[in-house]
Structure 1
Amino acid sequence: MIRNRPTVAAALLLAALTALLGVLLHGNARGSGLLAGYAGAWALFAAAVAVLRRVPGRSVVPLLVAGAIAVTATGLTAAPVTSTDSYRYAWDGRVQASGVSPYDHAPDDPALAGLRDEWLFPDAETCARSETDLAPLDAGLCTRINRPAVHTIYPPTAEVWFLLVHALSPDGVRHKALQTSAALLALAVTGLLVVITRRRGDSWRAALWAWCPAVPVEAVNNAHVDVLAVLLSVAALAVVARHRVAGGVLLGLAVATKMLPALLVPGALSGARRPHTVLAVLVPVAATVGALYLPYVLLSRGSVLGYLSGYAQEEGYDDAGAGGRYALLRLVLPDAWAVPAVALVMTAVALTVWWRGDPERPWRGALATTGTAFLLLTPGYSWYSLLVVALAALDGRWEWLSVALAGATAYLAVPLVGHWAATAAYGVAAAAICAGWWTRRPDRPGLPRPRLRDEPAAHTTETRHHA
């Protein structure tokens, strides 16, 4: 009975986490209530993972998977709560199904008026009485799609996914089809993480993804396509050490889903010092991205980059004085220096990871480059950090989850209290990561000195005596 106490405790914490997430999402919580509830969910998540580490080995995977299913399912209990991005996904799928390139027209373009339906484009009466979540159009009309005057920003793998989900979506429940498909992707990530971590005898690490509140909220409820990029990224890092070409293809698919996985390239190249080894990864990445873009280039009359440059400007990534970006750098540097500082630091980190990274653990270098980019850029959208959550689960360095929590704080708290909340959250994340690095230093005082390769091991009896 005593041995089962951690299992029971973990199950109870999971039940509480599932209930809280269900109430938050199904109750359509907003503002400070959502922020407080989400913070509580993260606290329960941390406690559940801590207890899981004391669960008997044979019970870890069944409990982890059961918890993953329960936590993930909470994202299906309501329509999207904190983001309207999935409505753009549905529109892009519908446009493609009609034989039109999604890059050629903005949603408000009259040329596509015949594709509008009441779900994405409510009638004038609904528009008149609605105050939130609907973007205005001409003639008193509106749409659920955000930024309806701009072209889509999503790369080709994402667009193919939108088309596939549209083809499989029953009329009238299209947001549920997007959420359900995202839930399946999230569970697939969990399964892949379990396989990878179980080989190393540390299956509990998969819970850092499987039970993380960001997964049901951002990957499932909001149905962000980032979860597809995460699945492809984890698969790429899992195979690239043994099969570089296959890893490069998978990484190319990930990059062509959300661009952010391009930060994983130095990790995928960890320890690859010979030119042919480097090219064995880079060429498949570039070829895959190019091959996926080519059909859309041929089909489209305009640029297939869509609103990418406009988005970067809107979010302040090209101007250190706007949008709360580069918040930590702006504490110590003039605003004009922030962008060059990011370029310099990221180049140094990427080269270090490539040259000195562990080729058997490419996710470790990938986590370093991706996490560092987040700390430097301080993005305001919480779903971007789903990739960091998965990388932290692969490597077991739980302190990097503070980056995901900082992103959630920035997204939910900044509208309530201002940009200082994002600065404080990312500052705490940076401190947590530095503390984690310090405690793991092999030469930290109080830790046994690692044995050199050619140094004979101490005699067993001496070791026992001095212990």
Structure 2
Amino acid sequence: MKPLTSLTTPPTRTAPAATATALALALAALTTVLVLTVRYGGYFSDPVGLFCRYAACWVLFAVALSALRRVPARHVAWWITAGAVAVTVTGLVGPPRTSTDSYRYAWDGRVQSAGVSPYDHTPQDPALARLRDPWLFPTGTACAGPDLAGVPHTGGTPHCTRINRPAVHTIYPPVAEAYFLVVDQLSPTGTRHKPLQIGAGLLSLGVTGATLLILRRRGGDLRKAAYWAWCPAVPIEAVNNAHVDVLGALLAVAGLGLVSARAMTRRASGGLLIGAAIATKLMPAVVLPGALSGVRRVRDAAAVLLPAASFAVLAYLPYVLLSHGSVFGYLGGYVQEEGYDDPSAGSRYSLLRLVLPDSWAFPVLLVIVAGVSLYVMWHGDPRRPWSGALLVTGWAFALLTPGYSWYSLLLVALVALDGRWEWLGIALAGAAVYVLGARFGHQATLSTLAYGAAAALVLVMTRVRRRARGRRRRSAGGRPEAASAWSGFRRGAWPPPGRP
């Protein structure tokens, strides 16, 4: 079995003009279908059509990756950057299509600009009525729509808001809230969703730039960066829907890049950035075991953990001092609403629930993730901490089976550093569950099928890589051989002899 877009084998030689033409056509087709996907939406009216367009984007993404393999190494960075700009821009051609989260971001930024803590009031609180912009809180006939929520009012004219869950407090951590404030401060008066989309687009390009820089400094194949730069999940979830997860991904990637250095000051700086990522969306905490790959001394572990924990805690301090209520807002209610504490109520842990009682799913998940984390910390390569981070994050997502596709942005960024493309199946599974599952009332079944297929792909490719590695070792007479992305976990196995 030969992977379509493997980046571990040398690119084949073809005529430069033919290679450039093929890649340009593939990127043009990808951006065209992405524009159609964003422009026409269909989340409420035509979820099947929407997912078909999205799936077509992924097929064209794979075609573009295959074409990139034939590009000479000296031109790869240019192609990836140009493609990243084109793909990112597609997310700006329409308003948010499949999520209303960015409207909460805009509101939190607006509230903070008025000198009010975003944790103290719900969006529908009459105390903040003076801050309501008409585009966020329409009235009258503008309230007809499936993505609008009613707001209590007096009189006969309907009042509504684009903000989801307007009766609950915000749950976003302090770095995310600071980002919302900055975007609001830099935005012209009366603007709508576009500043947040532009900000997310710039952050997305920042992830591409950081990935290219880290790969160049570590002597890796720059082609891996295309896994983020051209991935359809990025323009749709990071840019069009403007999810703040892209900020967490950027901080986590930059942090892991610094942690990979031997200098203690750089490792501490990396820990600081990882702490900032955690204080953006909490989810990036799963990269911490990767950041501790191969660490044997308490001092080395403390150099990462102390700055990360200190920043994550201290970032809350200004909001604690300014707020009258809890700075965790609706976080506990969200956990219950999404079925994380009661698996029988939703589609969480769907793979574990195939073989275990519902009540066992969460404890077993913790045991498995803890086991993978310990393996990564003991056997991982400290020069490639993103490899261990990908392993922990990937299996955490595969077993948690989240129903929101934007959670996988962090996973896509780690794939771009490491190169094990099979983990991208988790991102596609999340999109299938989000777009199709809730619309047809079979989310749990679809979650099992989608994430089951993604996990199977990972297991199959793991077996394929191990067998290929074994053949290389046998052909080399038992001498040390160039390791695959999977085998790079073992301490000292990467980079191979003779490579930087």
Structure 1 residue 88, shift from structure 2 partner: 0.2
Query: In the TM superposition, what is the alpha-carbon distance from 1:443 to its structure 2 partner?
Result: 7.7
CA distance in 2, matches of 1:112, 1:173: 19
* Aligned match of 2:460: 435
Alignment of 1:285-300 (within 5 A): 285-300=308-323
Q: 1:16 aligns with which of 29, 32, 44?
A: 29
- How far apart in 2 are the matches of 1:434 and 1:247? 31
Give secondary structure in 2 for the equivalent of 1:88.
helix
Whether 2:330 is the aligned partner of 1:302: answer no
- Alignment of 1:406 with 2:439, yes or no, is no
8 Å Cα contact 2:58-2:232 kept in structure 1: yes
Residue 320 of structure 1, CA deviation: 1.5
Q: Shift of residue 7 of structure 1?
A: 2.2
Provide closer, same or farther for how the CA distance between residues 302 and 283 of structure 1 changes in structure 2, counting only shifts above 3 A.
Answer: same
1:416-465: CA deviations, max 9, x gaps?
A: 34222221110110011111211222686533245359xxxxxxxxxxxx
Number of the residue aligned with 1:210: 229
List per-residue Cα deviations over 1:116-135 (Å, max 9, x = no partner). 110110123322xx121111
**What are the Cα deviations for residues 348-389 of structure 1, in whole angstroms up to 9, with x where unaligned?**
111111111110000000001111110110000000000000
Structure 2 distance, partners of 1:281, 1:299, is 29
Is residue 190 of structure 1 aligned with residue 208 of structure 2?
Answer: yes
Q: Following the alignment from structure 2 to structure 1, what is the Cα–Cα distance between the partners of residues 189 and 36?
A: 27
Q: 1:451 aligns with which of 457, 463, 479?
A: 479
Higher mean C-alpha displacement, 213-222 vs 408-417: 408-417
Alignment of 1:133 onto 2:147: yes
Alignment check: 8 A CA contact 1:166 1:174 kept: no
Look up the SS of the partner of 1:244 in the other structure.
Answer: helix
Provide the rounded CA distance (Å) in 2 between the counterparts of 1:142 and 1:313.
Answer: 25
| Aligned partners of 1:438 and 1:444 also within 8 Å | no
- Aligned residue for 2:472, secondary structure, equals coil
State the 1:201 CA deviation. 4.3
Query: What residue number does 2:59 align with?
Result: 43
2:452 maps to a residue whose letter is G
- Deviations 1:235-267 (CA, angstroms, capped at 9, x unpaired): 000001322210110000000000001001100
CA distance in 1, matches of 2:260, 2:51: 40
C-alpha displacement of 1:410: 0.8
Q: Structure 1 residues 442, 280: CA separation in 2 closer, same or farther (over 3 Å shift)?
A: farther
Give 2:82's aligned amino acid: A
Once the two structures are superposed, the pairs formed by residues 8-87 of structure 1 within 5 Å of their partners are 8-30=21-43, 31-87=47-103
Residue matched to 1:388: 411
Which structure 2 segments of 5+ residues have no match? 1-13, 482-500
How far apart are 1:336 and its partner, in Å?
Answer: 1.1
Q: C-alpha displacement at 1:299, in angstroms?
A: 0.7
Is residue 473–residue 480 contact of structure 2 (8 Å, CA) maintained in 1?
Answer: no
Is 1:422 equivalent to 2:447 in the alignment? yes
Following the alignment from structure 1 to structure 2, what is the Cα–Cα distance between the partners of residues 446 and 163?
55
Give % identity: 58
CA distance in 2, matches of 1:3, 1:96: 53
Distance 1:64 1:241 in 2: 23
1:236 matched to 2:250? The reply is: no
Q: State the aligned residue count.
A: 451
Task: Report matched runs for 1:282-361 at 5 Å.
Answer: 282-361=305-384
Distance 2:286 2:360 in 1: 22
Distance (Å, rounded) in 2 between the aligned partners of 1:452 and 1:389? 30
CA distance in 1, matches of 2:395, 2:82: 33
The Cα RMSD (Å) is 1.4
Question: SS at the partner of 1:76?
Answer: coil
Distance 2:235 2:434 in 1: 16
Displacement of 1:394: 0.2
- TM-score for the superposition, normalised by structure 1: 0.94
How far residue 3 of structure 1 moved from its aligned partner, in angstroms, is: 3.2
